[in-house]
Amino acid sequence: MSEKDKPITSALVNIAMWVERRLHIVKIWKATGGHPIPKSSASWFYVFGSMTLLCFSIQIITGILLSLVYTPSASEAYRSLEFLNYHWTLGWFLRALHYWGSNCMVIVMFLHMTQVFLWGAYKYPRELTWISGVVLLVLTLGIAFTGQVMRFDSDAYWGIGIGAAVMGRVPLVGAQLVNLLLGGPIIGTDTLSRFFALHVFVLPGSILALVSLHLRLVLLKGINEYPKPGIQVNRKTYDQTYEETVHKEGFPFIPNGIDKDIVANGVLLLVMVGLAIFVGPKGPGIPADPAIRISDASPDYPFLWLFAAAALAPHNTEWILFFLLPAIATVLLFGLPFYANQGEKHFSRRPVSILVVLLTYLGLGLLTYAGLTGPWSPHMEAWSGIPTKPEFIKARTPLELQGALLLQNKQCRNCHAIGGTGGHRGPDLSAVGTRMNEPELIRQVIQGGGNMPAYGNNLSQQEVKALVTYLVSLRPANTIPAQIPSMPEKTQAGKAERVSADEPAKQPQTGG
């Protein structure tokens, strides 16, 4: 350093020291970014928390920007979204980034939660860190749902309708809850306004507050050390051991422990930007006009599993899905750090934790897949819009062809596929002739049952005859037609016997 530089350098140092003496930046830094972490915690598995925070930051920035143009009014919202998509410079990009950022946030948050669970980080002394995380999970799902409503299209509209229908199942105060959810008698502009207030004020504010608590707890109690199999957590000794580990083989989070976080977050940013550019924003779809007939309505990715579960739940068990299961989940999630407070942290010594994770992912994954394919929904246009393959028509008698036409015209194919095409609500009929015989098919068509409506009032005797004759003919070559009803023979025969046996037995009693 030359002599000339010296006064400038010392002046800069003086300024820095002046600022430092007033703001105590070094002290703040040592307690935050530069806090010591165990060397083992600088792991690839420990990057998901910062990734979730990154997603949230992206959501705040893009959200504020979108709110500059978006109009939260039922009559204007849709138009302002189209304006963003097609007119406002890079509006489409910001919308896409906000949409994909939201999906990424939910996914990364789940990964974070899974890692924390498997690595036993919720145990002593980090119980409150876990609990604040569970509340953040609920808030994040809440902000994702209210965000979906901001895209004020038919999916959003019927999504609120589903929310209202769920609220309407609450005993005693159901009607009042529906009214509070909608802000009035119908889904309208007051509904959108209150979802807007939740989405941009209440929920982000709450999330910011809880993230502060969450991070404060991470700093206070230290980041979880990478667990080793066989090392037990003990309330009496843990704090001291942790202190010693950090002291002996620890280093400051910044700069020594942040490298992997930076790489992972960079990749996540690239993925988000890539999705935003190449897939683009979602919607808005069909306008939120209840007078427009829609063929399907489905929620965004984070709620598809719930949507699917609502379809697949057995008749009249929705209360279990909407009220009992959330209650159980709440107890389990909030209670976890208390009933598993000490002991082994490493997942290799906690096989049940692995099972829980596998089952949860399998369950959510399968339900989400089911939600994407939606096999329970009738295919509303199948009867008029899907061709029938030649092998199901070829070499049929006129009566059978009449039946084939009835099958098409009576909208049977909205629920029943033939040759794999059509609705999947009911069973595929391609080989129904091998499963059911004529009497049973007649009974099924006329009386319905097993989740099929009865067509007895809707079909003439001749029509039933034609339809059933065609259905009986539906079986692959070289297969035997069904000889007996596919219902268990014993039960049916037993029932029939009892009825016929009881009647003569009863008559003398009543008569005498």
Partner 1 sequence: MTPNESESHPPLSPEAKNHSTRRDFLLQIGILINAIAGFMIGIPIIGFIFSSLIKKAPPVWFSLGPTSNFPENGMRRAVFENPHRREEDGQTSRETCWVSRGQGDQFKVFAANCTHLGCPVRWFNESQLFMCPCHGGAFYADGGYAAGPPPRGLYVYEHKVEKGELKVKAGVLPTLANPV
Q: Is 42 in the site for partner 1 (CB under 8 A)?
A: no
Q: Is 460 in the site for partner 1 (CB under 8 A)?
A: no
Contact 268, 55 (CB under 8 A): yes
Pick between residue 9 and residue 176 the one whose CB is nearest to partner 1.
176
> Considering the complex, what minimum distance in angstroms separates the CB of residue 202 from partner 1?
12
Figure out which of the listed residues 179, 256, 388, 421 binds partner 1, where binding follows CB under 8 A.
Answer: 179
Figure out which of the listed residues 33, 168, 326, 494 binds partner 1, where binding follows CB under 8 A.
Answer: 168
Contact mark string toward partner 1, 371..410, x via CB under 8 A: -----xxx-x--x-------------------------xx
Which range in 141-149, 206-214, 254-262, 446-454 contacts partner 1 by CB under 8 A?
A: 446-454
Q: Is 189 in the site for partner 1 (CB under 8 A)?
A: yes
> Considering the complex, what minimum distance in angstroms separates the CB of residue 174 from partner 1?
3
> Considering the complex, what minimum distance in angstroms separates the CB of residue 414 from partner 1?
7
Q: Which amino acid is at 163?
A: G
Pick between residue 25 and residue 292 the one whose CB is nearest to partner 1.
292
Q: Which amino acid is at 281?
A: P
Which range in 7-15, 69-77, 89-97, 466-474 contacts partner 1 by CB under 8 A?
A: 69-77
Q: Is 287 in the site for partner 1 (CB under 8 A)?
A: yes
CA pair distance 302, 112, nearest whole angstrom: 16
Size of the site for partner 1 (CB under 8 A): 69
CB-CB neighbours of 503 under 10 Å: 9
CA pair distance 59, 99, nearest whole angstrom: 9
Buried residues in 175-199 as b, exposed as e (16+ CB within 10 A): eebbeebbbeeebebebbebbbebb
Q: Is 147 in the site for partner 1 (CB under 8 A)?
A: no
Q: What 8-state DSSP symbol labels residue 252?
A: E
Pick between residue 187 and residue 268 the one whose CB is nearest to partner 1.
187
Contact 91, 161 (CB under 8 A): no
Tokens for 285, please give them: 């779809």
> Considering the complex, what minimum distance in angstroms separates the CB of residue 160 from partner 1?
9
Q: Which amino acid is at 159?
A: G
> Considering the complex, what minimum distance in angstroms separates the CB of residue 87 from partner 1?
20
CA pair distance 374, 368, nearest whole angstrom: 9
**Is 387 buried (19+), middle (13-18) or exposed (0-12) by CB count in 10 A?**
exposed
Q: Is 150 in the site for partner 1 (CB under 8 A)?
A: no
**How far, in whole angstroms, is CA 50 from its chain's centroid?**
22
> Measuring CA to CA, how many Å separate 460 from each of 407, 466, 489?
14, 10, 29
Which range in 59-67, 176-184, 265-273, 476-484 contacts partner 1 by CB under 8 A?
A: 176-184
Q: Is 145 in the site for partner 1 (CB under 8 A)?
A: no
- Nearest C-alpha neighbor of 419 from the set 450, 381, 372, 382: 382
Q: Is 190 in the site for partner 1 (CB under 8 A)?
A: yes
Q: Is 185 in the site for partner 1 (CB under 8 A)?
A: yes
> Considering the complex, what minimum distance in angstroms separates the CB of residue 388 from partner 1?
16
Tokens for 374, please give them: 């939606």
Pick between residue 161 and residue 252 the one whose CB is nearest to partner 1.
161
> Considering the complex, what minimum distance in angstroms separates the CB of residue 92 from partner 1?
23
Q: Is 457 in the site for partner 1 (CB under 8 A)?
A: yes
> Considering the complex, what minimum distance in angstroms separates the CB of residue 120 from partner 1?
39
CA pair distance 462, 399, nearest whole angstrom: 10
Contact 53, 211 (CB under 8 A): yes
In residues, how long is the chain? Answer: 512
Contact mark string toward partner 1, 307..336, x via CB under 8 A: x--xx-x-xx-x------------------
Q: In sequence order, which residues have a C-beta less than 8 Å from that of residue 331 and are 6 or more positions away?
A: none
DSSP-derived secondary structure for 43-95: SGGG-HHHHHHHHHHHHHHHHHHHHTT---STTTHHHHHHHHHHTSTTHHHHH
Contact 425, 375 (CB under 8 A): yes
Figure out which of the listed residues 455, 464, 468, 471 binds partner 1, where binding follows CB under 8 A.
Answer: 455
CB-CB neighbours of 429 under 10 Å: 22
> Considering the complex, what minimum distance in angstroms separates the CB of residue 311 from partner 1?
4
Pick between residue 271 and residue 454 the one whose CB is nearest to partner 1.
454
Figure out which of the listed residues 411, 440, 465, 475 binds partner 1, where binding follows CB under 8 A.
Answer: 411
Figure out which of the listed residues 9, 176, 486, 500 binds partner 1, where binding follows CB under 8 A.
Answer: 176
CA pair distance 180, 191, nearest whole angstrom: 9
Q: Is 478 in the site for partner 1 (CB under 8 A)?
A: no
Binders in 75-94 for partner 1, by CB under 8 A: 75-76, 78
Q: What 8-state DSSP symbol labels residue 199?
A: I
Binding site for partner 1 (CB under 8 A): 73-76, 78, 157-158, 161-162, 164-170, 174-180, 182-190, 287-291, 293-297, 307, 310-311, 313, 315-316, 318, 376-378, 380, 383, 409-412, 414-415, 425, 448, 451-455, 457-458
